[in-house]
Structure 1
């Protein structure tokens, strides 16, 4: 087995193994980090809203200004909730929407490997994030679409490091802004390398599919030729 691995195909195989490991470990991990961030943000916003529910009545920004003491702030203190009546609803919907966007990006990275990811993308009508044709006919435009989706996740997640997401504890166990910054930087750095890795992986799948179809066509041609030869032999015997 070792002898069959060593040879001309060795380095391309090692490159493909490295690309797959990058996607399975680094790319997926860099998306799980912001997903965890948005879960933390959702929990902290919900706790702040529950603790200060009496301050969220009415549609007057001055009510919120008296609460946090900063009339220049566009967000309620310790949250990313805008200072208006729909703020809590907006924050909750936006947090959940970010979960969905991150899951879409994750499935777009893995649709070629797991049918469940492809089914999830189909259920969300995210046709631009995957390719449903054969690998031989595949185009790589969806890699760019997924990269722009990740850039949006980077921008939205990175913004949370500056909009007052502060734990209420004096000595917090988890520094949400710092973890948010780490998640943003890791995802941003991983985007170009993930595109390159997926390009090589899908290119190899195209090559294998073309090779298999060519082999199947040759076998079909041989079988057809044998059938014709048998038919001629039977006709000659008669």
Structure 2
């Protein structure tokens, strides 16, 4: 029957291949945050001379952009330790994105589950067998991605203008944000379908083992 009607098998193949697309969307966003981090810190170093104070007049003197709340051509606010907080936020995003990817792929690669365990993100995976697994963590990961979308999308409206005129960081940031946002519902569906298939397979395997054990016990008697 499966050979005559291969649609379910083809559908599951497409669903599994979708995770490559979902991973690519996360990689795009990760590249965006790497670009933002590099461009922010380089521009700040070149214009602010490592100033970390809270006097906006000093910032204005350095960049010549009087009254602006951000250091010119960056996403760094002009306040005490702005570069520190911005850099920490950038690094945090570069941690959240791989965690979201690991949550998508933990069912396929055991090291992804290990990474999630190392970061104490128990809500992004399920440690039980596939028979007992529930899908709450799938939606938790979706909300994490929505946070990443919101944080990344906010970068498209602030002014990062690198020295390299061939790189339009805000535009690339917008593309990456839209790709990730569009992938979320399809990834939820794919995740549930894959896990449900694995639940059924594991249940059948357990049932077959139980039947074999019962037959062996009956033969022994």
Query: Which of 122, 126, 133 is matched with 2:128 structurally?
Result: 133
TM-score of the two chains, using structure 1 as the length reference: 0.88
Consecutive unaligned residues of structure 1, counting only runs of 5 or more, are: 229-238
- Please give the residue correspondences for 1:154-173 in structure 2 after superposition, counting only pairs within 5 Å: 154-169=149-164, 172-173=165-166
Aligned pairs for 1:45-194 within 5 A: 45-54=40-49, 56-169=51-164, 172-194=165-187
SS in 1 for 2:161: coil
Taking structure 2 as the reference length, what is the TM-score of the superposition? Answer: 0.95
- In the TM superposition, residue 70 of structure 1 has moved relative to its aligned partner by 4.0
Whole-angstrom distance in 1 between the partners of 2:211 and 2:200: 16
Runs of 4+ more than 6 Å apart: none
Deviations 1:91-144 (A, max 9, x none): 111111001000110000000000010000000000000010011111101111
* CA radius of gyration, larger in: 1
Q: Please point out which of 16, 22, 28 is paired with 1:20.
A: 16
Once the two structures are overlaid, the 10-residue window that deviates more, 89-98 or 180-189, is: 89-98
User: How many angstroms apart in 2 are the aligned matches of 1:125 and 1:201?
Assistant: 24
The Cα RMSD (Å) is 1.5
Unaligned ranges ≥5, structure 2: none
Aligned residues: 221
Give the SS at the match of 2:28: helix
1:213 partnered with 2:206: yes
TM-aligned CA deviation for residue 55 of structure 1: 6.6
